[in-house]
Structures are given as C-alpha cells and as structure tokens.
C-alpha cells in the first residue's frame, strides 16, 4: 500500500511540474535574436539603399542611412566607403576623410579608398595630396583608366603638358572610346601651340560623343582659318551646354590660358551675340 501511495504522489508531482512549464511558456513571449551574419547582411542592405538614394539626389537621407548601417556593423570597410561618399555629397569633406581613414584601417588594399581621397583633396584644392592618393590607388589597380585620367588632369593643372598627354594616352589605350581623355589631350596640345593636332583630337572626341566641350574647343582652333565653321560649332556647343560661355566654368574644366584667350575672342563675334546672351540667361535661370 505504501509503495502504491508513493507512486501516486510521484505521478502527481511530475504532472504538476509539466503543467507549470506549459503555463510559463504560455506567458513568456518568444524573441528572435538575429545572428551576426544576419546583422551583417542587413547592414549591407541598408548601405546599398543609402547608395541608391545618392543616385536620386537624396543626400541627407542617404547620409542618415549610411550612419545607421555602420551602427549595426562598424567593421565593414565597404560601409565606411559608402558613408564617405554620402558625406562628400553633403560637403562634409573632413568627415569623409575620417571615414576613409576608418576604411583604410580595416583594409588598406582597396584602391577605391585612395581614389575617393584624391577626389576630396581636389575639391579642397590640395593637389599634392590628391596626386599622392591617386598614385597609391594605381599601385593596387594600375589599369583603372579613370584614375590615370585624373592623374593626367592634375599634371594638366600643373602645366606639365607632356606628362599629362602621356597619361591621357595611357588611359585611351585601356579604353579607346574614352573621349574625355582624347579631349583633354586636345587641351594640352593647344597650350603647346600644336593647333593642328588639337584639331584632330577634338574631332576624334566629337566622333565618339558630340559634347559641348570638344565642339567649342574645335571652334576655337578654327577661329582664324575657318570662321564660318567655327561659329557653327560654337552655336552648337552653347546650345548643348550654356555653361561653356563662362570663363570660370571652362577654367574648372582645365582649359589653359591660350585656349581661353582664343575662345573669348571667338565669343565676341557679332554672329554669336544672341547665342552668348541666351546662354548667359539660361545659366541665370538655372542658378
């Protein structure tokens, strides 16, 4: 009888125990704790969204998203690069340089870090640092035609025309239809007084893309020997991009003093008077 009672008591105790467990499980909610991998995926997804917002010109929103992504995963150099890009577009150049430094500390073998640094240094007029950053990037990615082109542009600013021409030529060999490099060779040769070669280069750039810059560059080359064609080309250039009527804007595009002087004379031609006035009015309206 005692053994029987013991069994009954044990059964009751066990039943009570399991009943309490079920009761507790019914009251305590279930929480999902994401793994590190899931958090990393989520941060990259947010980072990509930040980059997409940049494309649509939503600079402040992209900056906030990039910051959020880094709060989740501060050890991803790609996210620091994205943050730097958003900071550049928000004119936060010092912050962007700090972000790139963070990326470099995580992984110093990414060429984009140095190319981005160069971009910032050019914006804040520190050409020497920009050149150094580009050279570091090119050691990691020597076939990057855009970086080679940008290095050529710095040499063009320094009036090292022969050095610039060589770098532009190198970038064209990598990408034969790179009309910007062909155009800038035309700019360099004009300053070296090789007008005939400038004409050929501007014509070559136009054959790839009929952009306002080589059109006006070619017009300035032809100003004396073929005035009619020069005026026709200048009209087309100003219609395509009115900003090229402005001396300072052309200077930003690295036009040298000799080409600038020739262009100013061309734009004073009476047959271009209406086109120049229209171009200037369009600039005022868009500002």
pLDDT in tens, 111-164: 999 999 999 999 999 999 999 999 999 999 999 999 999 999 999 999 999 999
Q: What pLDDT is recorded for position 223? A: 96
CA nearest to 124, candidates 87, 160, 152 = 87
**How far apart are the C-alpha atoms of 160 and 172, rounded to whole Å?**
18
Residue 35: is its pLDDT beyond 80?
no
Q: What pLDDT is recorded for position 49? A: 84
Q: Do residues 88 and 116 make contact, with C-beta atoms less than 8 angstroms apart?
A: yes
Q: Do residues 193 and 259 make contact, with C-beta atoms less than 8 angstroms apart?
A: no
**How far apart are the C-alpha atoms of 46 and 233, rounded to whole Å?**
47
- Once rounded to an integer, what is the mean pLDDT over residues 68-91? 93
Question: Could you confirm whether domain 177-287 is CATH 1.25.40.10?
Answer: yes
| 218-253 confidence digits (pLDDT tens) | 999 999 999 999 999 999 999 999 999 999 999 999
Q: For residue 12, what pLDDT band results from cuts at 50, 70 and 90?
A: very low
**How far apart are the C-alpha atoms of 38 and 44, rounded to whole Å?**
10
Q: What are the sequence ranges of the domains in the chain? A: 177-287
């Amino acid at each position: 009888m005692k053994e029987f009672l013991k069994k009954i008591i044990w059964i009751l105790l066990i039943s009570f125990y399991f009943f309490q467990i079920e009761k507790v499980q019914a009251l305590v909610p279930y929480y999902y704790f994401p793994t590190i991998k899931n958090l990393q995926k989520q941060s990259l997804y947010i980072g990509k969204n930040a980059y997409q917002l940049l494309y649509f010109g939503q600079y402040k929103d992209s900056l906030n998203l990039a910051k959020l992504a880094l709060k989740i995963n501060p050890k991803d150099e790609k996210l620091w690069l994205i943050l730097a890009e958003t900071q550049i577009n928000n004119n936060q150049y010092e912050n962007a340089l700090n972000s790139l430094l963070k990326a470099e500390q995580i992984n110093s073998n990414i060429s984009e870090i140095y190319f981005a640094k160069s971009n910032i240094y050019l914006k804040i007029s520190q050409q020497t640092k920009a050149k150094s950053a580009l050279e570091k990037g090119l050691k990691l990615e020597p076939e990057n035609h855009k970086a080679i082109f940008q290095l050529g542009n710095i040499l063009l600013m320094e009036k090292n025309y022969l050095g610039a021409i060589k770098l532009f030529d190198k970038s064209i060999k990598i990408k034969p239809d790179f009309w910007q490099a062909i155009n800038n060779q035309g700019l360099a040769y004009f300053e070296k007084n090789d007008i005939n070669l400038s004409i050929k280069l501007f014509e070559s750039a136009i054959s790839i893309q009929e952009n306002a810059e080589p059109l006006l560059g070619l017009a300035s080359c032809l100003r004396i020997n073929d005035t009619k064609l020069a005026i026709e080309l200048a009209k087309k250039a100003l219609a395509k991009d009115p900003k090229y009527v402005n001396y300072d804007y052309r200077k930003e595009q690295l036009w040298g003093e000799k080409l600038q002087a020739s262009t100013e004379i061309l734009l004073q031609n009476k047959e271009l008077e209406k086109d120049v006035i229209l171009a200037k009015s369009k600039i005022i309206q868009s500002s």
